[in-house]
Amino acid sequence: MIRFESVAKSYANGYQALSDINCTVQSGEMVFLTGHSGAGKSTLLKLLTLIERPTKGTIHINDVCLNKLKNRHKPKLRQRLGIIFQNPKLLENHSVYENVALPLVISGCCQTEIKRRVRAALDKVGLLRKEKLFPESLSGGEQQRVGIARAIVHKPRILIADEPTGNLDPELSKEIMDLFQAFNQVGVTVLVASHDLGLIGIMKHRILTLYQGKMLSTGVHFGNNEVHSG
């Protein structure tokens, strides 16, 4: 479960990125986070992944208060999240296999287990045959899928994606969203930031809407306007 309580984030130059954010994402839920560019989507995800700290309010993940989490414990938290970025952020000098294996290497898995899990993750995103290639020889969609494989290889319970389909054509975007949905169906909590309203509208999941740093709506199924309490 992810819970934001009266969260605000302002920067040293006085820019207020987020103010008074209150919302909850239940365990096993899939939620979209939307809003125009500069609405604060990325800031919200940065707070969740401890890239930045809130100026006010508290953030909880599974009853753990992130505000109290010390810097030295950040890596442990991140090891248990699956994070996907708009730019897939792959290691250019490493093969697809090595990229996907990295979270497992960091957490100290044995080689046989790494091999098994990386193959399974690559199979899931349909890139098993490309494990020896390097990111530069892959298309944008394939790179994004490698990023997804890396985010799920350690079987996180929470998947956070920031504009994962931002650079992809509609068909590929749909494929990737379906992939997220498949993870959600096996119990993973999925939080996807996206401004592709057309795509997330047909997915029938709760949508959090940000507007100029404020939470405009915390519970609208884009398709049928079903309202959940936030």
Partner 1 sequence: MEIMRFIVANSSNHFKPTAYVNSAQLTWYRRILSQHTYAVSLAIGRISKTPFATLLTILVIGLALALPTGVLLVLSSSQALINKLDNGTQISLFIESTMTTAEVQQLEQQLSHDQRVAKVRYIAPSEVMRSFQSALGIRENAHSMEESFLPGILEIVPAYQKYKSEQIAQFVEELKQLPGIEVAQLDIDWINRLQAIMNIIEQAALLLLILVSTGVMLIIANTIRLIQELYRDELEIMRLIGANNSFVRRPFVYTGLLYGIFGGLVAWLILDFFLVYLRQPLQDLLNLYMNQASVSELDFQTLIILTMIGAVFGLIGSLISVFVFSLKQENEIII
Residues that bind partner 1 (CB under 8 A): 27-28, 42, 45-46, 49, 51, 61-65, 68-73, 75-81, 83, 85-86, 89-93, 102-103, 105-111, 113, 150-151, 154-157, 162, 183, 186-188
* Token pair in block for residue 168: 């992809």
Least distance in angstroms from the C-beta of 121 to partner 1: 12
Both structure tokens of 6: 């009266």
Number of neighbours of residue 76 by Cβ within 10 angstroms: 10
* 196 vs 220 by CB, closer to partner 1: 196
CB of 220 to partner 1, least distance (A): 25
**Least distance CB 210 / partner 1 (angstroms):** 15
Residue 113 belongs to what H/E stretch?
helix 111-124
User: Tokens at residue 164, please?
Assistant: 């994962």
Nearest-CA neighbor of 193 among 215, 222, 160? 160
Q: Which is nearer to partner 1, 21 or 220 (CB)?
A: 21
In one-letter notation, the amino acid at residue 99 is: N
209 CA to centre of own chain: 16
**Is the Cβ of residue 148 or residue 220 nearer to partner 1 in the bound state?**
148
95, 61 in Cβ contact below 8 A?
Answer: no
Taking the complex as a whole, the smallest distance from the CB of residue 32 to partner 1 amounts, in Å, to 17
| Closer Cβ to partner 1, 120 or 174, answer by number | 120
